[in-house]
Structure formats: structure tokens, C-alpha cells
A and B are shown apart, each in its own frame.
Chain A
Amino acid sequence: MPREDSTSLAALLSAPSELTDPGSSKTAIVLMTRIRLARNVVGHSFPGWAKSAQREQILTTCRDAVARLPQMKRCFNFAVSDLGELERQILVERHLISRELSGSKGGAGVLISRDQAFSLMVNEEDHLRIQVLRAGLNLKRAWTAINDLDSALEEHLDFAFSPTLGYLTACPTNLGTAMRASAMMHLPALVISNQMEKVVRAVNQLGMVVRGLFGEGSDASGSIFQISNQTTLGEAEEVILKRLGSVLQSIVEHELNARAKLLEADAGKLHDKIGRAYGILQNSHLLTSGEAMNLLSLLRLGIDLGLFPDDQRSLIDRLLIEAQPGHLQHAHRGECDAALRDALRATRLRAEFASFPRPEVRPANPGAAA
């Protein structure tokens, strides 16, 4: 029997989304902004300690409350137990659920707004994890959106809250605002010039955390990093966001400086790297996930540097998601081993890049795209 539209992953994949929409990828360096809030319903055990009947009850309570929000009209509504392994993986790759939720026991669910900008996970570590995603650097807009959603939800749910400790969460590391704000940044020049370790240290000292998106450490594949606040108690949301915003701004400046220095020192070497990436994407027959991320990352840098037209950036951003294992296997209509995935990935990328414009080296102005 075909599933209803609201519980169909195919409908979600074919709908325009905040992150894969051609209109959204206008910005160099910052790919997206994300804010999430943890909330718990008063008088109920946290999901990790709750009995399965209590988890089911929380799922029903939260779904009913979310259904009344105008922002979540006609939202997608999945119970994790109804989703197959690949479908869960796809939602993880699209940043709509966490790995923890995808592997969780009964009573876990997620509600996703039509435009995939909001997602509300139920019975992850906390009863509710409310998230908003925005393409580009947009902390203020993201905060306004999630603050409004949270306030609307509070009309229907009593959140566990203490005047001194703030929002009460399963883990004390999230107490207070229970807010984690982050930006996903593309920092290829800082990686190429071996400056990421220095950046990670400096950012840590400012109370922020850096993580690789596709792997750990300072040489994450794709040169994509997530920078987020470390602490949640003791400062108001706006104060945390302001500090994060200025850290992000300073990382953007460092990346732009690093690009300018690379071009100044040896533009030919950088253009060669980008040109080779273009050649491999157009002609290879086997590509691992890590290699594909690195090649796509170099093409994104090429767009920022003016080697390719600006309107191609959205294709790269979409492929950074769709070249991942879950998406590839779903398109192939079934699970397959890594070797076949590498072939499928290369085939897909060859097709996408067959008509991609050739790199054109013009007098470069690295700051122009920011």
C-alpha cells in the first residue's frame, strides 16, 4: 500500500528543501546555520530512563502539540521504527535527524516542516529536540524562527524549567538555554595551508567547538567544519549567538586571507588542483565518499574564486548531500557494498558534470564572492 504523503520519504526527497533548493546556496564559506533547542515535558522521565509506554505517551503528546503549530502545517511525520535503515540514513545525511535518533528504541519520531527548515525530534536524548536550518550565515533569522516556534509550542506543552538552572535537560551539559547554535563552514584554504589546528585551538579558547563534518580532526574530508557553542548555562541566547557570530565572522576573514595568500604565492598551483578535480569528476569510474567530498570542495572553491559561474554553487551543495552512501543506495533502490557505491557515485557525478562549464582562469579577486 502506498504510504500517505506525510509519512512518505519519497515525497520529502522530491520536495524543494531549504538546503538543496537552487535559490538558497548563494554564499561562499558558510553553507548553513543551524540552531537546536532541547525541551522536556514536566513530570515525565527523560527518554533514556522512561518505560516504553511512557515514551509512546510523550510521542503522542508532542505530535498533538506540533500538529497545532502553523509553522508545521502539513508536516512530514515519521516514526523511526517505520523507517528502513536507508531511509534513516538519508535523514541523517540531510541533517534532519541525529545518528542517536536513527538508532533509538521504540517511541522515537521526527516531525519535519514542508520546506525541511524545521525538524522536531521526539524521544532522542530529550523529549524534544527542536531544530531550524538556514542556508548561508543567518544566526539572527534562525533564532527568530526557532524562538517563535518554541514559544508557540509552549502554548500547548509545559516545559521542565527551573528559574536558576533554566530548561532542564537529560544531560547537565545542555542545561540553561539548552541551545546549540552552529554554522557549517567550507574552509579549504585554511586546510591547504595547514592552519586549521591553530583555528581549532583559538576557537576552543573562545568557548566554541569545531568538528569535521565528514570525519574528525583538522583534515576533515571536504574541508567542511561545524562550529558551535560549547556551553549553554550562564549566558542568554542572544549573548551566545552574538559571540558565535563574531567568531564565525573572524573565521570567514581568516579563510579569505588564506585564499588570497595561496593565490599570491602560487595561483597556478591552486588552479591546477581545481582543474584536476574537475577532470576527475568528469571522467572517473570509481569514487570513494571521502574523495568525492574533497573534489566537490575544490570545485566549490573554484566557484568562489570565479573559475566557474556563481549559479553552479547550488549543484555542488546538493551533491555534497546526494553523493553520500544513504542517498546513493536509495537512488539505486537497495543496499549495496562499498565497491558498488563507489561506482554508482562516479557514474552519478560523471553525469552531473558532463555539461558543467569548463574552468576559466580570469584575474582573480578572492574576496569578491563573500
Chain B
Amino acid sequence: MANPLKCDLCSKPATVHLTQIVNNKVHKVDLCEACAEAKGVTDPGGFSLADLLLKASLTPDAAPPAPGTRCPRCGYTPVEFKKHGRLGCPACYEAFATLVEPMLANMHSGVTHTGKVPARSLERKSLYDRLTKLELDLTEAIKSERYEDAARTRDEINQVKQAFHPDAP
């Protein structure tokens, strides 16, 4: 062959050629034997081309975040994401939004979640956020000697705490 295909990951001659159709879009990947093995293409346990496409970062339209970017919560970096195809923690989705979000359209049937919502978790979170804000208000009111506001805020805090633990006396 005049122009043998090169492995998409390491540029050695490719001997494994994969085609998968996701949402009517054809994705093609060419790999050498070593990379095919390393990426689990030959693993009977399962293999997804979307996963490989992601690991190889073959989606050129993803704008890379500025070098040195780290997830503020867990310290994960885009370099590690490209290497492993996995994120470090849930907060990474926000930290690396410009990198991850453009990939989603190729990977999924939509880019917005329309399924189940953890209603109880979210309710707890909104109560917690409200409690944090009220406690700040209370400190502020006491500091500036607005005692009527402080009393009202304290009542509200008690109500929110009651909602957290409805069984408490």
C-alpha cells in the first residue's frame, strides 16, 4: 500500500480499523495493535468507541482551557483528563466546561439532561444554602445592632432547621 494508515494515537502503522455509528454520525478510528490492546478494543468485557474518541481527544473543536488550569476543588488538570478520559471530581465539569461540553454533542443524543432529578438531594441543598445565608444575615444584623431583624432572622433559621429534621422536637 502506498500510504498505509497511521495509528491515531502513536503514528505507528494502523492494523485495527473501527467504525461505529452514534446518532447517525460515523466515527472512524485507526489503531496499531499495541494501542488497540492498551485501549481495551480486544477486551471482551466491552469497549466503546465514544470512550476511545474521548481518550484520544480526537474532537478538534474542543477549545483547550488556558495552560495551568486546575480544578479548584481537586487539583485535576486537562492534561490528566486527556490522558485518562476521566474527570477528577464532580466540580471538574464546571472547571473544564469549555473542554468537556463541546464533546458531548458527538457522544450523546442531546446535550441537556431531561431525566430523573434527585429531588430530595436538591431540596436538602437548597435548605442548606438558605441556612448559610440566614446565618450570615444574623451575624450582620447583630453587628449593626438591628435587633428586630436579628430576632426575625433567628425565627427563620429555626424554621429551616425544622425542615431539615422534621422529627426533631
Q: From B124, which residue of chain A is reached at the shortest CB distance? A: A158
Q: A residues within 8 A CB of B68?
A: none
Q: A residues within 8 A CB of B17?
A: none
Asked whether B4 is an interface residue with its Cβ less than 8 Å from the other chain, the reply is no
Contact between B21 and A205 (Cβ–Cβ < 8 Å)?
yes
Per-residue CB proximity of A231-249 to B under 8 Å, as 1/0? 1111111010000000000
Asked whether B23 is an interface residue with its Cβ less than 8 Å from the other chain, the reply is yes
Contact between A163 and B113 (Cβ–Cβ < 8 Å)?
yes
Please give the distance in Å from A165's CB to the nearest CB on chain B. 6
Task: Please measure, in the bound complex, the distance between the C-alpha atom of A236 and the C-alpha atom of B93, giving whole angstroms.
Answer: 21
Q: A residues within 8 A CB of B114?
A: 234-236, 239
Interface residues of B, dominant DSSP: loop
Q: From A166, which residue of chain B is reached at the shortest CB distance? A: B113
Q: Known interface pairs A172-B104, A173-B50, A173-B54. Does A125 touch B86 (Cβ–Cβ under 8 Å)?
A: yes
Asked whether B144 is an interface residue with its Cβ less than 8 Å from the other chain, the reply is no
Q: A residues within 8 A CB of B54?
A: 171-173
Task: Please measure, in the bound complex, the distance between the C-alpha atom of A40 and the C-alpha atom of B73, giving whole angstroms.
Answer: 15
Contact between A204 and B21 (Cβ–Cβ < 8 Å)?
yes
Contact between A237 and B116 (Cβ–Cβ < 8 Å)?
yes
Per-residue CB proximity of B103-126 to A under 8 Å, as 1/0? 110011111111111111110110
Contact between B113 and A40 (Cβ–Cβ < 8 Å)?
no
Asked whether A364 is an interface residue with its Cβ less than 8 Å from the other chain, the reply is no
Please give the distance in Å from B109's CB to the nearest CB on chain A. 4
Q: A residues within 8 A CB of B132?
A: none
Please give the distance in Å from A43's CB to the nearest CB on chain B. 8
Contact between B116 and A231 (Cβ–Cβ < 8 Å)?
no
Total A-B contacts with CB atoms under 8 angstroms apart: 142
Per-residue CB proximity of B69-89 to A under 8 Å, as 1/0? 000011010001000111111
Task: Please measure, in the bound complex, the distance between the C-alpha atom of A176 and the C-alpha atom of B84, giving whole angstroms.
Answer: 20
Contact between B107 and A231 (Cβ–Cβ < 8 Å)?
yes
User: What's the interface size class on B, roughly?
Assistant: 35 or more
Asked whether A192 is an interface residue with its Cβ less than 8 Å from the other chain, the reply is no
Please give the distance in Å from A24's CB to the nearest CB on chain B. 25
Contact between A215 and B44 (Cβ–Cβ < 8 Å)?
yes
Q: A residues within 8 A CB of B50?
A: 173, 230
Asked whether B20 is an interface residue with its Cβ less than 8 Å from the other chain, the reply is yes
Choose among A44, A159, A211, A235 the residue that contacts B118 (Cβ–Cβ < 8 A): A159
Per-residue CB proximity of A150-175 to B under 8 Å, as 1/0? 11001101111111111110111101
27 pairs across A/B with beta carbons < 8 Å?
A42-B90, A43-B90, A98-B45, A100-B45, A150-B116, A155-B120, A157-B121, A158-B121, A159-B121, A165-B93, A165-B104, A165-B113, A168-B93, A170-B86, A173-B107, A175-B113, A176-B115, A204-B20, A211-B44, A233-B109, A233-B112, A233-B113, A234-B108, A234-B110, A234-B112, A234-B114, A236-B115
Question: Interface of B with A (CB < 8 Å)?
Answer: 20-24, 42, 44-46, 48, 50-51, 54, 73-74, 76, 80, 84-90, 93, 100, 103-104, 107-122, 124-125
Identify 8 new A-B residue pairs, CB closer than 8 A, beyond the known A231-B109, A239-B114: A46-B88, A157-B121, A158-B124, A163-B117, A164-B111, A177-B116, A233-B107, A233-B109
